[in-house]
Structure 1
Amino acid sequence: MRKPTDPERLYLDFDGFFASCEQFAHPHLRGKPVGVVPFAGVGTTCVIACSREAKKRGVSNVMMIKDALRICPDLILQPQNPDLYRRAHNALLSEIAMVIPIDAVKSIDELTCRLDPSQQQHPLAVGDAIKARLLKLVGPWIKCSIGYAANRQLAKMACKAGKPDGNMLWHPRDMPGPLLALRLADVPGIGKNILHRLWAAGVVGMDDLLATQPKQMRALWGNVTGERLWYALHGYDVQPPVSERGMYGHGRVMPPDHRSLAAVKPISRLLLVKAARRMRRDGWSASRLHLWLGMWEDSWSGSVDMAAISDDPGILDALEQLWGKARRALPPRPVIARLGVTLGELSRTDRRQLDLLTNDEPIRQRLEKVTEAIDHLNRRYGRTVVSVGPWTPPPGDHAGGKISYTRIPRAEDFY
C-alpha cells in the first residue's frame, strides 16, 4: 500500500452550516445567537444546530431547548428550512468547484477533494483561495474549516482540529505529532462501544493506538474497518470501500399535538411514499417494509415481507398490515413521539425474479404503470397533485425533505 510523502487530500467542513445559512438568508439574525429547531412554536424538542455566537455561550447541537435557553436566554429559535440548506449546499459546491474539483460529497456540509501535484506543494493556498471566493461571493456569514493530509481520514481530523474557520495542514513529514495531542474519542470511527473495547485491551491514549498492529486493530473492531483505520492513521493511501445502497427510509419527530395513532398514521403514509419515490428514482425495488414507533419509555417495531415491489399501492398495502399489527400490540391511547419507515432488502427493479407461486407479474406491471404516471404528473407540476389515498403533510412541513447530514435531498423531495 502506498504511503504519500505530500498532502494529497483536502477535507472541507462548513461551520454551523444550518445556522449560518439562516443568518445568510435573514439579516436580522446576523451576529446573534441562533438555534435551529425542528418546529416553530414548540419548546419541547432540541436545538438541531446552533450558530457560532450560540456556541460561544455554551449552547451545543442536540441540546434540549429548555437547557439552551437557560444557558443563553436571548437565544433566537429559528425553525429549520431544509430547502434553503439544499440550495445553499448546491450553490457553495459550484463556487468551490471553480477553485478545485470536488472528489466526493460526504454530507450536506462536508466534502473532500484531491490535490494535484502543484497544489500538494502549496496546499494552504488552495484553502485560502476557497475562503476568499466564498467571502467575496457569499459574504462572511457562511464559513468553513479545511484540513489537508496524506489521506481522507487524516484530512478530516485536521479539519476538525482547526475548527472554527481553520486552514490546517498535517504534512506527512510532521506525523504522527499532531495525532498525539488528540483523545481516542476524537478519531472518526471510534464510538462509545469501540472506545470501551480499546480501554479493555489497554489502549487508553493515541500513543497506545498508534503502537498497535493492523491485525490487532482488526480483532478489536471485529472486522476489516479496524485494520483500514490503522493504515489511515499511519498515513497510507487508504481508499474508501464502495458502499451499496441498503435501504430507503424517513423518520420524523412528531409535534406534541400530533402524537396519537390517528395523527401519526397519515404521516407514515406520506413518509413512505416519499421514500418509495426516491427508491424508484434510483431503480430499486424492496422486499421488506419496516415500521418503527417511538414512545417516551418504550418503542414498537414490526416488519412485513413484500414481493420485490416499488409501486405505491403495493407498498401502502404492506404499511396497512403493519399498522394492524401495531394496533394489536400497542397500549390504549399511546403517545407516539417519533416515527420511522424503512424500505429494505433491495434489488434492482430491472432484474426482478418472477415468483412462480404468486404469479403477480401482470398485477405488478399494471400498478407500476399507474405509479409511473403519478410520478410523472408530480414532477411536471413540481408538487404533489396526485397521490394514492390521503396526502396529509405534518405541521412544520419538510416531511421527506429533511436534511439527514448523510443525504442531500433533491428539489422533488420537498413536494
Structure 2
Amino acid sequence: MRKPETIERLYLDFDGFFASVMQQAFPALRGHPVGVIPFETDKAKYTTVIACSKEAKAQGVQNVMRTPDAQALCPDIVLVMQRPDLFRRAHNALLNEISCEIPIDTAKSIDELTCKLGKRDIVDPQGLAARLKKRIAENVGPHITCSIGFAANRLLAKLACKMDKPNGVTIWEPEGALQYLSALPLSEISGIGGRMEKRLNNAGIYTTAQLTATQPKQMRALWGNVNGERMWYGLHGYDIQAQPTGRGMYGHGRVLPPELRKLDKARDTARLLLTKAARRMRRDFFYANKLWLWLDLREGGWFGQRDLPCVNDDQAILAALSHLWDKAAFELPRRHEIVRAGVTLLDLMPADGRQLDLFLNDDRDRQRWERITFSIDALNRKFGKRVVSVGPWKPPPGGYAGGKIAYTRIPSAEDFW
C-alpha cells in the first residue's frame, strides 16, 4: 500500500451552503442571520432550522435546531423556506467554476468535493486555493465561501478542511499529520459516531492520539469489519481509495406540516413520494422486489413492508402502497400524529438481469401497465415537467416533494417535476 510523501488531495467544503446560497440570491438577506426551514414561515413554530448562516451561528444557532430554540437565541433571525432547485443550480455552477481550475475527482455531496492534485498544485496549494476562491467570488458570487483542506489522502484532507472554517485554508503535510490529528477529539474524526466512540471508550481509547497508536488489526476488531483497518491506514496517511458502492434502494421521506399529520391526509404525499422514487428507479434501469412504508409518529412509529413481483411500473407499486396504507389504518391508534412519512423501494434487480417468479411472471395486464408507465415517462421528459401521472398529484405545502437534497444524493432536474 502506497504512502504519499507529499500532499496529494484537496477537500473543499462550502460554508453554510444553503444559507449562503440564499444570501447570494436574495440581497435583502445579506448580513442578516438566516435560518433555512422546510415550510413556509407561518408554520415556523412547528418546524426546524435545517441550515443557518454564519451570522446566525455566531449567536449560537445550529443546523437542525427547533425554530423556537433558534429564535430564543437569535430573535432577529430571518426564516426562509428551502429552495432545493436553487441549491442544485448553485451546486452545478460552482462545480463548473472549480473544474476550470482543477479536475473534480468526486462530488461527495451538494456542498463537498474532493480533487487529486497535479504537480503544479502540490508545489503551490495556497495559490490553487486563492484561484478557486477568486473564481467563485467573481463568477458565482462573493457571499458563497468555502473552506479547503490539503493532505496526503482524502480522509486527512477532509479533517484538515474543518480546522479553519469558515473560508479558511489548511495544509497538513504528511510528516506532521499525526501531530495535527492529536488535537482533534474522537467525535471529529469522519466515520466515528456516538456509538462507535462509546465502543472505543470501552476499549480504553479516549483520544485521537490513543486511536492512532493502535495497530491495523486492532482497529479492524474494534470496528468489526475491514473499515476499521482502512481507517487506520487512512489516519496514518496511506493512499486509501474509496470502495465502489452499488445502488441498494430508492426512497423519499417527508416531514409533514401540521394539517397533513393524520393518515387520511398524508396518503397523497406518500403516493407522490413513491411515484418520484419509482421514476428515479426506472431512469437507472432497475426493478424492485420489495416496498417499505414507514411513518414516524409523535410517539413511536409504524412500519410495514410488502413483496413485489420484480416490477417498476407505477400501477403495481402504487397498488402495493395502497395495501400497506390499509394495513396502517387498521393498526394505528385512533389518535395519532404522523410527523414524517417515507417510502422505500428495495431488493433491486438491474433490468438486464431481471428474474421473475415462476408463478408471478409478467401477464398481459402487467406488460400493458409497463408500456403505459414508460409512455408517461416519455411524455414528462419531452415537455420537461409533469404532464401525466397515475392518480392524484397533490404536492404538500412547501413543494419540492421528492427533490430533497440528501447527503449522498444531489437531485436532478427531473426530480422537481
Range into which the TM-score falls when normalised by the shorter chain: over 0.9
Q: Show CA shifts across 1:13-34 (max 9, x none).
A: 0000000010011000001000
Letter paired with 2:3: K
Amino acid at match of 2:89: R
3-state SS of paired residue (2:333): coil
- CA drift at 1:361: 4.7
**Cα deviation, residue 65, structure 1:** 0.3
Contact in 1 for aligned 2:11/2:149 (Cα 8 Å): yes
Superposition pairs of residues 13-412 of structure 1, within 5 angstroms: 13-40=13-40, 41-42=42-43, 43-412=45-414
The farther-off stretch of 284-293 and 118-127 is 118-127
Aligned AA (2:29) = L
**Structure 1: distance between partners of 2:160 and 2:95:** 21
Question: What's the CA shift string for 1:296-331, capped at 9, x where partnerless?
Answer: 111000100001111100000110111121111100
Gaps of 5+ in 1: none
Q: Which amino acid aligns with 2:39?
A: F
Q: Residue type matched to 1:141 in 2?
A: H
Cα distance per residue 1:110-168 (max 9 Å; x no partner): 00000012211212211111001111112320000000101000000000112111111
Listed one character per residue, the Cα deviations across residues 197-230 of structure 1 (whole Å, up to 9, x for unaligned) are: 0000000001100111111111111111111000
Q: 1:183: how far off?
A: 0.2
Q: Report the AA paired with residue 300 of structure 1.
A: W
Identity of aligned residues (%): 57
For the residue of structure 2 that corresponds to 1:175, the secondary structure is helix
Q: What residue identity is the alignment partner of 1:289?
A: L
Distance 1:125 1:295 in 2: 52
Q: 1:12 — aligned with what?
A: 12
Whether the 8 Å contact between 1:109 and 1:405 is mirrored in structure 2 is no
Question: Within 1, Cα distance between the matches of 2:316 and 2:141?
Answer: 49
Matched residue pairs, number? Answer: 415
Distance in 2 between residues matched to 1:314 and 1:349, nearest whole Å: 16
Q: 1:258 offset after TM fit, Å? A: 1.1
3-state DSSP of counterpart to 2:191: coil
State whether residues 261 and 333 of structure 1, in contact with CA within 8 Å, keep that contact through their aligned partners in structure 2.
no
**Higher mean displacement: 324-333 or 285-294:** 324-333
Unmatched tracts of structure 2, length 5 or more: none
Distance in 2, matches of 1:240 and 1:404, equals 19
Give the Cα–Cα distance (whole angstroms) in 2 for the partners of residues 407 and 52 of structure 1.
Answer: 24
CA distance in 2, matches of 1:163, 1:322: 46
CA contact (8 A) 2:93 2:140 kept: no
State whether residues 310 and 356 of structure 2, in contact with CA within 8 Å, keep that contact through their aligned partners in structure 1: no
Letter in 2 for 1:87: R
TM-score in terms of structure 2 length? 0.98
Task: Name segments (4+ residues, structure 1) moved above 4 Å.
Answer: none
CA distance in 2, matches of 1:347, 1:243: 15
CA contact (8 A) 2:292 2:343 kept: yes
Which letter does structure 1 place at the counterpart of 2:370?
E
What letter is aligned with 1:383? K
Q: Residue 161 of structure 1: SS of its match in structure 2?
A: coil
**Aligned amino acid, residue 111 of structure 1:** L
Q: List per-residue Cα deviations over 1:243-284 (Å, max 9, x = no partner).
A: 011000000000011111111011100000000000100111
Paired AA for residue 28 in structure 2:
H
Distance 2:363 2:52 in 1: 51
Distance 1:364 1:352 in 2: 15
Q: What amino acid is aligned across from residue 30 of structure 1 in structure 2?
A: R
CA distance in 2, matches of 1:139, 1:110: 18
Could you tell me how far apart the structure 2 residues matched to 1:110 and 1:248 are? Answer: 22
Structure 2 CA distance for aligned equivalents of residues 383 and 98 of structure 1: 31
Q: Distance in 2 between matches of 1:309 and 1:139?
A: 45
